[in-house]
Chains A and B, each alone.
Chain A
Amino acid sequence: MSEARLHTPLGGAGFKGYVSFTEVAPTGMIALRGDLANATVAEAVEAATGQGMPAARRIEGGLDGGAAWASPDELLLFVPQAEAAERTAALAEALATQHALVADVSDMRAAFTLKGAHLRDMLAKLTPADLSPETLPSGEFRRTHLGQIAAAFWFEAEETAHLICFRSVADYAFDLLKEASEPGGEVGYFSI
């Protein structure tokens, strides 16, 4: 399969404002529903992502290998894109004997990486989530909405965050993030 046949929703578009962001390269993502307290599930997750079972609302690892808590019985796993199909199959195989759902959802979402000192201020323009560092520390996987769409994001570090949304609304998300990041729009609330 040649790379030219892969089209992410935004073709890797980006914007540089007081916060800069770009759509990331195709990323492998796997949806897993099952009993998160089950040891076999935890082992399978570790085998697929190299990461341990995340606590509620947390993500272990990141885009190149990560496990994010999505609900009491759901995880979103991140794996290298080229290995997504293989690891989905392996995960399904590992969980074949128990009640679980495994699906390759690599193509379902658009993903962005955002960087900047005023990142929290920028996101607070678009989401009702509490962006204070105490409530939303690094590694907190926040499912919420961005403007009028569903989205999830997490801080990898204080000035770096990743955000995912459904691919059909990637343009809308891009435009929202762009206007919120326009120079002159710094709020100086979370970061002065």
Chain B
Amino acid sequence: MEWLERNVPKFVLAPSFVAILVFVYGFIAWTAWISFTKSRLMPRYELDGIGQYERLFAAPRWDVAMNNLFIFGGLFIVISMVIGLMLAIFLDQKIRAEGVLRTVYLYPMALSLIVTGTAWKWILNPGLGIQAAVRSWGFENFTFDWLIRPEMAIYTIVLAAVWQASGFVMALFLAGLRSVDTEIIRAAQVDGIPTHRIYSAIIIPTMAPIFLSAFIVLAHLAIKAFDLVIALTNGGPGYATDLPATYMYAMAFSRGDLGQAASSAMIMMGVIFAIVVPYLYSELRPRRDQ
């Protein structure tokens, strides 16, 4: 009986543990293996060195995809956090109809990225959207054609992604702001400290864990960004807005080049590890003050 009591949790957890072992780590290992083979249409298992990685790094399209990841990821994370924080601070001023406004800002998150992408595709299309509208108001020379300019198109993706995610970041920060001890804020107010100082010196520093969470959530959204690109630009013009995820999809499913897809997937995983591992390390290490 006692034995059972001790072991029941293990039995209950075992199936999901096995499932994760096989379907997550097992397939990561499988992908890693495939990335070292000459697999094309179908997986082959004879190892063939690092040929796929050499091909990957020789492909100009992969360079574009990685560059785009850094441009998109960097801008998306920074801008979403800045806008999210601003919105949260403004909403935190005990304003009227806060509930309504909060919902308004959060709503984009409820949309699927496919919907966001399609809507922005129309909004940004020079002949249908903003440019056409402004021109029809009489500003004949107004130009806003980022969507069709290869060097600017990646920023349209940033724009749509920020629109989608900043409301969510706002909600995160708002929760953080509300969790700051009001006593400290009152004390500061009594001491006559101006509001912006209260925010910059007291509230924001105590919210450091929220920043970290927001960063991690946004970073993984950025790295796995796929549907937004597919809907908004489909990687175009040319392949100017390709991201590693769309590159991998093209290789695996359109071109019958599984080896390339596997090696690009491994690099993507490496990028994620580079971000997540330091985070886990900082979260999981024993706290010095405890």
The yes or no verdict on A and B being binding partners is no
Task: List the interface of chain A (C-beta within 8 A of B).
Answer: none
